[in-house]
Structure 1
Amino acid sequence: MGKEGGKLWTGTQEAAATLPMEVPRPRLLDAAGWVHEGYAYRAELSTYVTAPVCSPTPDLTEHIALPDAWWSRLQRAASTVAATPVPDGRPRVISQDYVHRTIPRYLGDAGIDTTVRRWTLAHGDLHWANLTSPELTILDWEGFGPAPHGFDAANLHAYALPVPELAARVRDTFADVLATRDGLLAELTVAAILLQAADRDAIHARLAPHLRAHAQWLLEHHRDSRVP
């Protein structure tokens, strides 16, 4: 039997009630839920978004031109989300236990403390199929919740790795987050999550070599610079 509830069931509605209006996203207009023959259903109506997504898949496979204003608005939006207090009872995007288990399983002995020191609100699934251009709209908020600080930036960067120029732009845009100990752990966490997904689908399988190379670079850079 399908049951109502769970993190994704009310995520969009909770995001609509929690996030400031300046975060560019579709506006939730109405929602309804019902049960029929043992299965629970939920329907949501949001404002129509005319701008196309940046990519038909979460990852980038080719360069796209994005104006400076787009990057600035994205950075402000991510910062605003992270600074927003977590609503009571909102589940985490991932658990601390998951971070402890997944990094060594998929990245080996990273030689770092995998304890998340800072949890902040995040979109939770920020990738290129959830962003529109040239007018920025951030789509699909059902999975939002507290995550390791820098999680959204790390996720977006990971999915940009096949296009080095745009991956570098993500790092530059979110340098205040990614160039920290919190950012390092967020990036390693995301790399492990996506490598786990590589066992299940072709998109993450093609991303896997980029993720492994980037994780190795992160760990070498950490050992050389001793990120605080």
Structure 2
Amino acid sequence: MFSEPDDSAVRDRMHAAFTDAATRLTCAPVFGTPEAWGHGGRTLGMPVEDAHGRAWLRVMEAPAGKAGGKLWVGTKTAAAVLSDEIPRPRLLRSAEWKGHEYAYRAELSSYVPEPPCSPSPDLTERIALPDTWWFQLRRACDVVAATPVPDGRQPVVTQDYIHRTIPRYLGETGLDTTVQRWGLAHGDLHWANLTGPELTILDWEGFGPAPHGFDAAHLHAYTLPVPETAAQVRKTFLNVLDTPDGRLAEITVAAILLQAADRDPVHARLAPHVRAHVRHLLSTSHHHGLGSPQGSAGLRPEG
């Protein structure tokens, strides 16, 4: 999803760590296949072969004193608590080790042959997916939302963040931004994390509690450039999005994406669609009972 890091030292270090990981987990890289880099070169993944066939190896790096935390153990925790009914890669085995300056975690997962629905998080052209795909996606999200939150699992977004970010990026909406209902969510549901025409949901490292409807709102926002498919997303999740909880999730996601528009080109090109959608949401929110001016007393845009 991200380009190879410009810093040759980062590339060399991660390639060395990947080779080390392959040795530790008894597998071998499949040469000639594309590398999948994370933001800033923090992660590196690519296909490998082990005694059972093809698999996927992903290596994470962190400064030696800062290893651990939500993203570090996210895939491991998801593997432990989520139902096998959810179509996702299976974690096969993992390893952790420390070098002089950096710590590493390597995870070997089942290989997913289907390609992502999009090379970028946002959908840029219409996509044809079977009805069963949409049914499975809806079912998977329902199962995730019904799963008890693991002890100590940090939220995708906090209430304080929501209170601060909505007025900062959307202005004074006059809405009560207090989340009334929380539930477990994938947290990063977009088109680069979904495969088709056979559905697999990728990248569970950031899962955690979020406002009810967060995943549906997140996917819908990333689909806004393609109205026909956005309408299908909305139809699939109508009973979630067409509620006060769902609309607050949409407002929250909009603020998050507009904040990200300051940092990268994907969200910058998505921003006009998000702003237009927000105008529509705000024009109908009070009619549908989402909050009141009293609920936002004291909220002011930050500098």
TM-score for the superposition, normalised by structure 2: 0.74
Secondary structure in structure 1 of the residue aligned to 2:117: coil
Q: AA paired with 2:198?
A: E
> Hey, what does 2:180 align to over in structure 1?
117
Contact 2:117 2:195 in 1 (8 A): yes
Q: Tell me the distance in 2 between the aligned counterparts of 1:224 and 1:149.
A: 20
> Hey, what does 2:247 align to over in structure 1?
184
In structure 2, list runs of 5 or more residues that go unmatched. 1-62, 292-303
- After TM superposition, list the pairs within 5 Å mapping 1:30-41 onto structure 2: 30-41=93-104
- After TM superposition, list the pairs within 5 Å mapping 1:156-175 onto structure 2: 156-175=219-238
Corresponding residue to 2:82 among 10, 19, 32: 19
> Hey, what does 1:61 align to over in structure 2?
124
Q: Tell me the distance in 2 between the aligned counterparts of 1:176 and 1:227.
A: 15
Q: Tell me the distance in 2 between the aligned counterparts of 1:36 and 1:122.
A: 33
Cα-to-partner distance string for 1:97-152 (whole Å, 9 max, x where unaligned):
00000000111111111001111000000000000000000000000000011000
Percent identical among aligned pairs is 71
Q: AA paired with 2:263?
A: R
Corresponding residue to 1:130 among 175, 190, 193: 193
> Hey, what does 1:52 align to over in structure 2?
115
Given the superposition, is the C-alpha separation of residues 189 and 227 from structure 1 closer, same or farther in structure 2, using an over 3 Å criterion? closer
Q: Tell me the distance in 2 between the aligned counterparts of 1:166 and 1:104.
A: 29
> Hey, what does 1:8 align to over in structure 2?
71
Cα-to-partner distance string for 1:39-68 (whole Å, 9 max, x where unaligned):
110000000000010000000100010110
1:96 to partner: Cα distance: 0.4
**2:205 matches 1:142:** yes
1:227 to partner: Cα distance: 4.8
1:163 to partner: Cα distance: 0.1
1:223 to partner: Cα distance: 2.8
Q: Tell me the distance in 1 between the aligned counterparts of 2:287 and 2:102.
A: 54
Q: Tell me the distance in 2 between the aligned counterparts of 1:75 and 1:213.
A: 26
> Hey, what does 1:193 align to over in structure 2?
256
Higher relative contact order (CA 8 A, sep 6+): 1
Q: Tell me the distance in 2 between the aligned counterparts of 1:227 and 1:147.
A: 18
Q: Tell me the distance in 2 between the aligned counterparts of 1:12 and 1:168.
A: 31
TM-score for the superposition, normalised by structure 1: 0.98
Q: Tell me the distance in 1 between the aligned counterparts of 2:173 and 2:119.
A: 33
In structure 1, list runs of 5 or more residues that go unmatched. none
Q: From the two aligned structures, give the one with the greater strand fraction.
A: 2
**Runs of 4+ deviating beyond 6 Å:** none
Q: Which structure is larger by alpha-carbon Rg, 1 or 2? A: 2
1:38 to partner: Cα distance: 2.6
Q: AA paired with 1:96?
A: Q
